[in-house]
Chains A and B, each alone.
Chain A
Amino acid sequence: MTTQRKAHQKGPGEREDVVPEEKGPSRRRFIQWLAAAGAVIAPLPWVSFAEKERPAGGSPSTPSPQDGAQTTPRRQWVMVIDLRKCDGCVSIDTPPQCTEACIREHFVPEGQQWLQIYEQQTPGGGSFFQPTPCYQCENAPCVNVCPVGATYHNEDGIVLIDHLRCIGCRFCMAACPYQRRFFNWGDPNLPPEAAFASYSPEYPVPAKRGTVIKCMFCVHRLRLGRLPACSEGCPMRAIYMGDLNEDVATNGLEVVQLSTFLAENNAYRYKEELGTQPRVYYIPGHGQEFGRKAQDQRDLLPVTWDYGLLGSLGH
């Protein structure tokens, strides 16, 4: 191949076979060098990022060797939403209380509902209410596509956003199959007290213009051993918070063994078929524990963005 190309370029003349022997090896060496360099360089970023992103511990059955050295045991937070208990707050005639608690807790900018309730129709003609937080997917499409690593898994498996790094390309929003990400299109209209919060990816307040924001499972509360704002705000106590590692979950009233609770109650994950491995489980139902019928016609009441001056301090 090399000699053929040589002959082609060298043009006419019989003495050309001397020339390629001088030049050939150097080019060949160059290509070898290039291939070797490529082989060395190619895996580098993958290795370094793979370590950063993989939730430590991987799966509950394989704790990582450093676990013993950690001062705080690593969690694998999951949320369990018992739809038998969720009636969309129609029976108490209020807007969804989980959503409003979330809004007060994080000064969620107007128009965004990090935890939104959708009315889902069932093929049989009934409907149920489905509270939808960020699913904190293990195989998170948003984390996969982020060009700058601004959205990432923390060590407990929760998907966070670094709003100081986010460039606002919104690729993660296009990638999220649950549409659980929001963009601060303009300067968010927030009450003055929001400015007193000290920002961190774990408590992204105040929201920053030109960046993507979403539910982060109230990491700042979990750290203190408290339930997320939505779980505390739910009058029906339909939202359980649990840890796959310790196999336990609670809604503040009762403590359940997570694995049994999920298995016994036919728990499912939303859009399981996509392979995103969400960390939110649903127990099927339509609010029957609080008397809601599947064919109940009452609609959700619209959410208000009333931060209530001392809203977040009250908890």
Chain B
Amino acid sequence: MAPEVIERERLEATVLAPILRPSRLYDLGLILLGLITLWGVYAWSVQLRQGLVITGMRDQVPWGLYIGNLVFFIGISYGGTLVSAVLRVTKAEWRRPITRIAEAISVAALVVGGVQIVFDLGRPERFLNLFLYGRLQSPLIWDVVAISMYFVACVIYFALPLLPDVALLRDRLAGTVPAWQRWFYTFLAAQWTGTPEQRERLARAMNILAVLIIPLAVSVHTVLAWVFSMTLRPGWNSTAFGPYFVAGAVFSGIAAVVLAMGFFRRLFHLEEYLTAKHFRYVGYLLLTLNLVYIYFTFGEYLTMMYKLAGEEKELLQALFTGREAPLFWSFIFGGLIMPALLVALPWTRTILGIEVASVLVLAGMWLKRFLIVVPSLQVPLMPLEFGRYVPTWVEWSIMLGSVSAFLLLYGIIGRLFPLISIWEMVGEQETAPAEAAVQARRLMFPQPAFEGPRAVASGEE
């Protein structure tokens, strides 16, 4: 079981290539995304001028796409940080080439997700009231607190392991990039020189952060679920909503990681480092969460279906056979069963198969968020007709703008920073547990740079 040898030179050349010699096509893509984002901004300006009357929401269905998108984007943000943190804490060595790709998703998705709240406000200019007059008893304030804390944590969690690589860029790119970019790297590198003391501190900080960020992440989606389950609406009034949302968030987050891996693997020629093995392992994670989500979904609907209590019966009728049935069954078959089969069956468990599964998961989970938010509000609580909600062009445009803003942010991160953590790939001793045995072995057998955990990792194969 000889560990695969990673040549630092080649790794650096490959990973830094998109930063050293950015392709024109990539920049064009960013500009295109920027234009679509601007379209979303225009749509929002129309909404600001005319008010929410321009949306499809009305008194009976007071929440719509924006709240669905909020849950969706915050869910995506899980992929990154939680997955990377869990893999870090469990010392899964195969994580090394995917952590940066994953962590960048959190940062981009949280920015876009948080803004969704503002789109939804009737009085966006009073946004600061949330901080000036915030009542801790309101689940919405739990959200504000949890999301902003999680955002800060994610930025730190993204920026810290970036230090050695940014320092590398600072030293390596002198003269080849514009002055502002060099200043930018110098600033972010925070005088990193790679002394043993610095490396030890970084490793310790990452260990602590990785542990701390897990409960933080879990709390974010739990309180997001509680926004719904603290009300007396059919379908929302559920104690399982917290874990249900957390599972759904991790599920969709992993799918986002797969797609980011697949995209940048091809675009930046990272095939050597993001191998079929990595896709397979992430695929297993995806499958696990897929099954967990099927379990939760089954449990949620079965408990309602068995009792058929008044309003819940109406909700189920709408979902199973009524107006929302096409969306609901597309989610069940397209978003849950199909991806599970694609990853579970050995002959479709290829890179492409896992990517297709991830596309389905993302689409399905977006549908699911829509189906959580809207039909529960459509069910009348008074002797009224079933509520109507059809999103307008403004809502669709803001959603399109949000998606492209997310991609744009992610694209900019990929344009400025190496998407594979070079130092973690090469200098594994910097993060590996400094057990005495390993240290002793290194002293006695200096030749193979480092064998312990890697041998374990490749032994899994």
Residues of A within 8 A of B (CB): 8-9, 11-13, 45-46, 49, 111-112, 118-121, 132, 141, 144-150, 165-171, 173-175, 177-179, 181-187, 209-212, 274
- Neighbouring B residues of A178 by C-beta, 8 Å: 381-382
Known A-B contacts A45-B135, A168-B122; A120 and B129 likewise in contact (beta carbons under 8 Å): no
B133 in contact with A119 (CB, 8 Å): no
* Minimum Cβ distance to chain B for residue A130 (Å): 8
Residues of B within 8 A of A (CB): 50-55, 57-60, 62-63, 117, 120-124, 126-127, 129-130, 132-141, 144, 204, 207, 227-228, 230-233, 377, 380-384, 433-436, 439-440
- Neighbouring B residues of A9 by C-beta, 8 Å: 204, 207, 434
- Selected from A45, A145, A167, the residue in CB contact (under 8 A) with B129 is A167
Nearest 7 pairs of A and B residues by beta carbon: A168-B122, A186-B53, A210-B122, A11-B434, A12-B436, A147-B140, A185-B53
Query: CA–CA, A256 to B52, complex, Å?
Result: 46
- Neighbouring A residues of B122 by C-beta, 8 Å: 166-170, 183-185, 209-212
Known A-B contacts A45-B135, A171-B140, A173-B62; A179 and B230 likewise in contact (beta carbons under 8 Å): no
- Neighbouring A residues of B380 by C-beta, 8 Å: 179
A169 in contact with B232 (CB, 8 Å): no
B232 in contact with A49 (CB, 8 Å): no
A186 in contact with B51 (CB, 8 Å): yes
A12 in contact with B433 (CB, 8 Å): no
* Minimum Cβ distance to chain A for residue B71 (Å): 14
Q: 12 other contacts beyond A111-B59, A145-B139, A147-B135, with CB at 8 A cut-off?
A: A49-B137, A118-B384, A148-B129, A148-B132, A149-B135, A166-B123, A168-B121, A168-B126, A174-B228, A178-B381, A209-B122, A210-B52
Q: In chain B, what residue has the closest Cβ to A164? A: B126
- Neighbouring A residues of B228 by C-beta, 8 Å: 174
Query: CA–CA, A112 to B58, complex, Å?
Result: 11
- Selected from B144, B232, B436, the residue in CB contact (under 8 A) with A175 is B232
Query: CA–CA, A105 to B133, complex, Å?
Result: 31
- Neighbouring B residues of A182 by C-beta, 8 Å: 59
Query: CA–CA, A119 to B435, complex, Å?
Result: 75
Known A-B contacts A12-B434, A179-B384, A185-B51; A147 and B130 likewise in contact (beta carbons under 8 Å): yes
Query: CA–CA, A166 to B434, complex, Å?
Result: 55
Query: CA–CA, A39 to B60, complex, Å?
Result: 41
B232 in contact with A177 (CB, 8 Å): yes
Query: CA–CA, A209 to B47, complex, Å?
Result: 12
B126 in contact with A165 (CB, 8 Å): yes
Query: CA–CA, A150 to B57, complex, Å?
Result: 22
Q: In chain A, what residue has the closest Cβ to B376? A: A174
* Minimum Cβ distance to chain A for residue B306 (Å): 20
- Selected from A165, A183, A184, the residue in CB contact (under 8 A) with B133 is A165
- Neighbouring B residues of A141 by C-beta, 8 Å: 231-232
- Selected from B53, B54, B381, B439, the residue in CB contact (under 8 A) with A179 is B381
B123 in contact with A185 (CB, 8 Å): no
- Selected from B53, B133, B382, B434, the residue in CB contact (under 8 A) with A118 is B382
- Neighbouring B residues of A145 by C-beta, 8 Å: 138-140, 230-231
Known A-B contacts A11-B434, A167-B122, A274-B232; A45 and B136 likewise in contact (beta carbons under 8 Å): yes
- Neighbouring B residues of A45 by C-beta, 8 Å: 135-137
A148 in contact with B439 (CB, 8 Å): no
- Selected from A11, A174, A181, the residue in CB contact (under 8 A) with B233 is A174
B63 in contact with A119 (CB, 8 Å): no
Query: CA–CA, A274 to B133, complex, Å?
Result: 28
- Selected from A111, A167, A181, the residue in CB contact (under 8 A) with B123 is A167
Q: In chain B, what residue has the closest Cβ to A118? A: B383
Can you list 12 contacts pairing A with B, beta carbon distance less than 8 Å? A11-B435, A145-B139, A145-B230, A169-B121, A169-B122, A171-B140, A174-B228, A175-B230, A177-B232, A183-B52, A186-B51, A210-B122
Query: CA–CA, A177 to B25, complex, Å?
Result: 53
- Neighbouring A residues of B50 by C-beta, 8 Å: 186
Query: CA–CA, A107 to B10, complex, Å?
Result: 74
Query: CA–CA, A179 to B207, complex, Å?
Result: 49
A171 in contact with B138 (CB, 8 Å): yes
Q: In chain A, what residue has the closest Cβ to B440? A: A12
- Selected from A12, A184, A186, the residue in CB contact (under 8 A) with B439 is A12
Query: CA–CA, A46 to B126, complex, Å?
Result: 23
Query: CA–CA, A11 to B437, complex, Å?
Result: 10
Query: CA–CA, A276 to B193, complex, Å?
Result: 62
A187 in contact with B230 (CB, 8 Å): no
Known A-B contacts A12-B436, A185-B57; A179 and B137 likewise in contact (beta carbons under 8 Å): no
* Minimum Cβ distance to chain A for residue B136 (Å): 4
- Neighbouring A residues of B138 by C-beta, 8 Å: 144-148, 171
* Minimum Cβ distance to chain A for residue B67 (Å): 9
Query: CA–CA, A32 to B231, complex, Å?
Result: 37
Query: CA–CA, A11 to B434, complex, Å?
Result: 5
Q: Give the most central of A166, A179, A182, A212: most B CB within 10 Å.
A: A179
- Neighbouring A residues of B58 by C-beta, 8 Å: 185
B126 in contact with A174 (CB, 8 Å): no
Q: In chain A, what residue has the closest Cβ to B132? A: A148
- Neighbouring B residues of A165 by C-beta, 8 Å: 126, 129, 133
Known A-B contacts A141-B231, A147-B144, A182-B59; A167 and B384 likewise in contact (beta carbons under 8 Å): no
Query: CA–CA, A166 to B129, complex, Å?
Result: 8
* Minimum Cβ distance to chain A for residue B104 (Å): 28
- Selected from A13, A121, A174, A210, the residue in CB contact (under 8 A) with B51 is A210
- Neighbouring A residues of B377 by C-beta, 8 Å: 174
Q: Give the most central of B126, B136, B139, B141: most A CB within 10 Å.
A: B126
B204 in contact with A187 (CB, 8 Å): no
Query: CA–CA, A132 to B207, complex, Å?
Result: 58
- Neighbouring B residues of A183 by C-beta, 8 Å: 52, 59, 62, 122
* Minimum Cβ distance to chain B for residue A179 (Å): 5
Known A-B contacts A185-B57, A210-B122; A179 and B382 likewise in contact (beta carbons under 8 Å): yes
- Selected from A8, A120, A146, the residue in CB contact (under 8 A) with B383 is A120
Query: CA–CA, A30 to B201, complex, Å?
Result: 19
Known A-B contacts A174-B231, A185-B58; A167 and B130 likewise in contact (beta carbons under 8 Å): yes
* Minimum Cβ distance to chain A for residue B153 (Å): 17
A210 in contact with B135 (CB, 8 Å): no
* Minimum Cβ distance to chain A for residue B64 (Å): 10
- Neighbouring A residues of B59 by C-beta, 8 Å: 111-112, 173, 179, 181-183
